[in-house]
Amino acid sequence: MTSEERIELANLLFPNIKNETKYYEDKYPERKLPEGAMVTRYGPSPTGFVHLGNLLSAFADMVYSKQTNGKFFLRIEDTDQKRMIDGGIENIVGVLHDFDILPNEGYSFDGEYGPYRQSERTEIYQTYVKDLIIRGLAYPCFMTEEEIANIKEEQEINKTKIGIYGVYAVDRDLSLDEVKEHLNNKDEYVIRLKSPGNAKNEIEIVDCIKGKLKFPEHDVDTILLKKDGTPTYHFAHAIDDHLMHTTHVIRGDEWVSSLPLHIQLFEVLGFTPVKYAHIAPITIKDAETGNIRKISKRKDPWFGVKYYDENGIPIEALHLYLATITNTNFEEWYLANPDKNISDFEFSFDKQAIGGTSFDEAKLVNLCKTYFSHKPAKDIFEETLKWALKHDEEYAKLLEENKEDMIKFLNIEKDGPRPRKDIAKYSDVKEEFSYAIDSLFEKENYSKNESEKTYDTDLIIDYVNNYLELDRDNETWFNTVREFAIKNGYASSPKEYKAAPDSFKGHVGDICEAIRVMITGRLKSPDLYSIMKILGKDRILKRIDMYKNL
RNA sequence: GGCCUGUUGGUGAAGUGGCUUAACACACUGCCCUCUCAAGGCAGCAUUCACGGAUUCGAAUUCCGUACAGGCUACCA
């Protein structure tokens, strides 16, 4: 086709496209950002389900742009109407808010480079396709599904690469008259790239995370525009990331195979290439088979984003976990700098795992415990209340009614360099502090008491009435327990008891155990004296009475 | 079938030719501390980096082959 014929063809195909590409180049100028600033983007499809893997890539987008004073924007990639799910977009935006991974530009956020929803950008894509046709780098293809299926079958038999390229690209060099004839017949068509590549050439692509990658040059006439006129992912990616001036495309591993295509698209379109960083997917080693397998919604509930909210896993703790899988040296750094925040850490692509990252639930739990141990009691109370309001209204009410006590209980053994680490999630609080709220304690009673023993209530009542003083320090208190033990024929220490078990009824520990079971309903608890101080004598005696009347 | 990528302990992993007799963390086990737990302290936990070969004075680290695993190979993203 001559250049005049190509212009005629382009106008025939896209009569409504009046703008030239220059219009958009001018409309979306270079960003004014400091040297080295990274512009990243999160581009989800609204298919209705956001999972940990999505969150991980959005987290990386946020963190890298933030530390370079760049931009992080949200783009909705909804070019496939078939996969759209009602409320899908709202869900994505909601999740981003819930998990505090907030873009500073994009769909539902502000920005100068919109629209940030691909379904609203059709005209832009078509403008660039029209230009490509004029330049002889794209063409309409009228092949039917059957024809393509037959070619695929033939290629499978011949064990060659599958796709429309070389001799298989039969519509590549259609004359203008042939195209017109198809158009007159109302034949459906797609627009394909007229790939200039040769698969015999080897090209090298540098990925920020994976390093040097070698591929055969791309030579497939990939579809740019589907028959409904909407772009494929690949084409939309090239146009959008160019016009929105993305500097770093951080995305899942599954895209590395498309790299030769994407590089070629940028070349053909005359765009300066973006940098790519492909992050390894989150995987799971199947307990039964030992194989690494895809994560499933059903088998791996933690993969779905709801899991974290429902179980009351704090968002900050999840951020900590995402940071440890984003950079392999984060964990060590955080341990060495417990008083610092994620934003103090400098993330780097070199420290990003190349292979698949397995999800380590035990590690998450540990991170959560560390998180809670650093939190002041008041904050834990407020956060737990907020969570309970959503998931356990009855408990939330009790929390509000017992706020002062509850904070005191949460504060036990919190001071000092070795705070307790017994809460991993908000949902643990109710269970761990079941003795803290009277009405809850009465209701649950002693059902959680694992002890088989029965304890001497008279002995303990005697102790409480005649020996217990609640305004002492811990050491003084314990000395009085010792005295009481000796007076009643108990050894003053476990060691003493072990040396001569026959001469004693038991040891101090047994007395403490009796008190503990009667007032908390459990064999294990944080510091006993602190608990007693908060409860006060009346409630202590009331509980002992409850125990007596079991 | 073709094209890519990966494979280090129970787990997550560090490691980019000699500072590695393989870090660190989690988990686990034992001891210590101790009124019980949690926390903390100490100790133990891969003679070896999927397997085979090559290069090298020297390899977990480079190269080749094999096996296994994952991804892509859609008018899905």
A264 token code pair: 């070629």
Structural domains of chain A in order of their starting residue, each with its CATH number: 3-24+122-279 (3.40.50.620), 31-120 (3.40.50.620), 298-347+361-374 (no CATH), 375-432 (no CATH), 445-550 (1.10.10)
Q: Which nucleotide is nearest to A118 (CA to C1')?
A: B77
Residue A548's pLDDT is 85
The distance (Å) linking the CA of A298 with the C1' of B15 is: 36
Q: pLDDT digits over A37-58, tens only?
A: 999 999 999 987 888 889 999 9
Residue A83's pLDDT is 86
Q: Which nucleotide is nearest to A223 (CA to C1')?
A: B75
Q: pLDDT digits over A355-364, tens only?
A: 777 888 888 9
The distance (Å) linking the CA of A367 with the C1' of B11 is: 15
Q: Is A453 left (phi over 0), alpha (psi -120 to 50) or beta?
A: beta
Sheet holding A282-285, edge to edge: A292-293, A282-285, A357-358
The distance (Å) linking the CA of A253 with the C1' of B50 is: 23
The CA distance from A39 to A32, in Å, is: 11
**Among positive and negative, which fits the CA dihedral A421, A426, A428, A429?**
positive
The distance (Å) linking the CA of A154 with the C1' of B71 is: 24
**Residue at minimum CA to C1' distance from nucleotide B73:** A162
* Residue A144: strand, helix, or coil: coil
Complex ipTM over 0.85: yes
Residue A443's pLDDT is 67
Question: Which phi and psi angles does A9 have, rounded to 5°?
Answer: -60, -45
Question: Which phi and psi angles does A391 have, rounded to 5°?
Answer: -115, -15
Question: Could you give the angle at which helices A233-243 and A122-134 cross, rounded to 10 degrees?
Answer: 100
pLDDT beneath 70, residues of chain A: 286-294, 296, 443-445, 447-451
Which helix (H) or strand (E) segment is A208 a member of? Answer: none
What does pTM read for this prediction? 0.90
**Residue at minimum CA to C1' distance from nucleotide B11:** A360
- Give chain B positions with protein CB within 7 A: 1-8, 10-16, 23-27, 35-40, 68-77
* Residue A80: strand, helix, or coil: coil
